[in-house]
Amino acid sequence: MEQRSLSQTKQLAYAGLAIALVFTCTVFVNVRLPIVANGGLIHLGNVPLFFIAMLYGRWLGAVAGGLGMALFDVVGGWFLWAPFTLLIVGLIGYTVGAICEKRQSFMAYALALAAACVIKVVGYYAAEGIIYGNWLAPMASIPGNLVQIGVASAIVLPVVPKLKKHVAGFSWAGSRR
């Protein structure tokens, strides 16, 4: 019983740190885009999200990404976006983690990031269409979403294989480690 409690405490601590890392990189490393009518934002919160999902799996990726970025929406004044972000970015973290739990190669990492890009573009296009009731305007947000995932991918892809070798044997519930 004590071992299980320690494991749950460790999971909670990792989740808290992961959420905080994604939140912090989203809050402090971002640029608002002046070209999109409703704002638009490019941030580096995807970098820790991708590292976390690739290194620790789908569940921690989903929790860290979904909660970390939704929390940013709440405190950053993007209130309407928070439920969509929770779902979209949670799905991104889950998908990236699921792909990388099964295969740990450069091609798997690239595939995971391509899937993340598709989920982000489609998810935020739909969210913006729902929020604003306009299905043409969300087209203007696609380039920013592509840049955001592209920049994060350029940072993560060369580094994650090296990090993978040095990660301690932490196991998130449900992941294969």
- What pLDDT does 107 receive? 97
Q: Is the model's pLDDT at 1 over the cut of 60? A: no
Mean local confidence (pLDDT), 144-172:
85
The pLDDT, as a whole number, for residue 177 is 43
Least confident of 2-6, 84-88, 92-96: 2-6
3-class DSSP assignment, residue 173: coil
Residues of the chain with pLDDT > 90, as a percent, come to 70
Q: Provide the whole-model pTM.
A: 0.89
Beta bridge partners of 50: none
- pLDDT at position 108 over 50: yes
Q: Which CATH class is domain 2-166?
A: mainly alpha
Q: Band of the pLDDT at 10, cuts 50, 70, 90?
A: confident
Q: What are the residue boundaries of the structural domains of the chain, listed by start?
A: 2-166
Per the CB < 8 A criterion, the answer to whether 36 and 139 are in contact is: no
Per-residue pLDDT tens over the stretch 112-145: 999 999 999 999 999 999 999 999 989 988 988 9
Rounded to an integer, what distance in angstroms lies between the CA atom of residue 136 and that of residue 125?
A: 9
DSSP H or E run through 73: helix 58-75
